[in-house]
Structure 1
């Protein structure tokens, strides 16, 4: 008998691609001699939420696969960590953005992806922790972060990524006017200042930015998902029109320039943030809570995601 596979399906993710292709997914696993058990994920159901399913069947499977977006994967990874499981994870991305899937190098062809889950090797990636919450690739606060979990699911299903862009444009005035006074402390960087946005990530893009500061193209793209480090991006609150222009140019350009005084970028494995008011966070596109005291740390090579073998 082949692998025992637990397949968790978020049918509302993306444009409901998971629901449309579910039979094909099961058939492909069966062709590879796998025994597949399918559960729909219903977040508001006590019996059919990701954590309840993983808790009940945690010893019964060789591989747990989720079908959905980055938020779906977020809940699966969190559940696996909470249960202390060593079982590898598979991810069939069908969401609106799928940022983390792209960073991991998960094949876009789902047949190739499933083949990698069955025949490939686990890639052990770093996982972040914000206080008591886990995150796979990003924890962020401030401008535009509510867009990821505040956009209506129906709109995301109909328009895909365009829904996020439309919501960002609609909320731009309020997003750029709100700032937080923070104390930032790490071994690499310490400062107290006003910030409108912050992202702590383990991804080859940060909130849509496609390049990081460095003296060469290689350094700009030197993001290692197994190095025990976060990429930290902080954007200071604009004091005048010129500052606002610097920030806007960076957002539109999608690349962080080294000489932009409004943008701070560094890498760290441990970070402390303090604020006088509660700061709301998003983790992997889901609401991550609100805090005055924040500790962020890296758990190195914590979760194994199945990928095709390179040889």
Structure 2
């Protein structure tokens, strides 16, 4: 692992990441023989850059927020031969970087990457899209759509939390049919979340006991938008094995088919590009990723 390409979003963190570009490069160059920085200027640049450099490097680093990470992983995941992957967090939530133990300081994260400690992790595939962290429909999609940029910059991860509280009681239930390799469930719900990682909006709440190497999704079906059900999900000890939570159905599965009526917009790691119906599957140990020590 000597040749490195950094897909770098200088606008991340309200422009703060861009100010550290030279220092990040110098830090990486203490360990890696070749470090090339490629700046993104608009949506889609990250994917295009991955296509250009993937065959010529040993490691691709996404330096930016969750949007940059999502774009890079969606370009990497379908490749037959994939370089290793790493994250330098520079955004608001930085969810998956937290999952893999990266320090939430960009320069210190670059130092962690220089140690070259890796592991193979699962990722999710939803039709033609890939996700590291979560797949969701219902309330979670409404929340992510209504959090404005200014709120994210001013209050960060709390924006998601506060908007969810404001949205409780304002979401219409939808009818769903979920099929897994073990069971079929038909019911009404206000939210379905399929988790690979354990952080959403910077908070380790929905799946605190999740495992990105077990080849399984953790799934929560939320049947009612009640204050009690919502706050139960944000208690620190709530996990997928928790039983007897009113209005919440926990599952684990490798493969999920879901149909809804009416159609629901799908949120994959904060990106909303498709609607139900959808087929979601785990890709076990699909990506080699650099982790924090």
TM-score range, shorter chain: 0.7 to 0.9
Measure how far apart 1:116 and its partner are: 3.6
Distance change (3 Å), C-alpha of 1:56 and 1:205:
closer
Q: 2:18 maps to which residue?
A: 19
**5+ long unaligned stretches in structure 1:** 213-220, 239-243
SS of alignment partner, residue 91 of structure 2:
coil
SS of alignment partner, residue 263 of structure 2:
strand
Please say if residues 149 and 286 of structure 1, whose CA atoms lie closer than 8 Å, have aligned partners that are also in contact: no
2:252 matches 1:279: no
Tell which structure's C-alpha radius of gyration is larger: 1
**Equivalence map 1:61-72=2 (5 Å):** 61-72=57-68
Please say if residues 113 and 307 of structure 1, whose CA atoms lie closer than 8 Å, have aligned partners that are also in contact: no
Distance change (3 Å), C-alpha of 1:276 and 1:171:
closer
Q: 1:218 maps to which residue?
A: none
Return the TM-score normalized by structure 1. 0.83
- CA–CA distance in structure 2, aligned partners of residues 149 and 69 of structure 1: 17
What root-mean-square deviation, in Å, do the aligned CA atoms of Structure 1 and Structure 2 show? 2.5
The equivalent position to 1:234 in structure 2, one of 221, 242, 253, is 221
Distance change (3 Å), C-alpha of 1:258 and 1:33:
closer
- CA–CA distance in structure 2, aligned partners of residues 252 and 59 of structure 1: 42
The equivalent position to 2:246 in structure 1, one of 261, 281, 293, is 261
**5+ long unaligned stretches in structure 2:** none
**Equivalence map 1:151-170=2 (5 Å):** 151-170=147-166
The equivalent position to 1:100 in structure 2, one of 72, 89, 96, is 96
**Equivalence map 1:117-156=2 (5 Å):** 117-156=113-152
SS of alignment partner, residue 12 of structure 2:
coil
- CA–CA distance in structure 1, aligned partners of residues 224 and 32 of structure 2: 56
The equivalent position to 2:82 in structure 1, one of 86, 90, 93, is 86
2:196 matches 1:202: yes
- CA–CA distance in structure 2, aligned partners of residues 230 and 149 of structure 1: 24
| Stretch moving more, 248-257 or 13-22 | 248-257
SS of alignment partner, residue 82 of structure 1:
coil
Please say if residues 126 and 227 of structure 1, whose CA atoms lie closer than 8 Å, have aligned partners that are also in contact: yes
Return the TM-score normalized by structure 2. 0.88
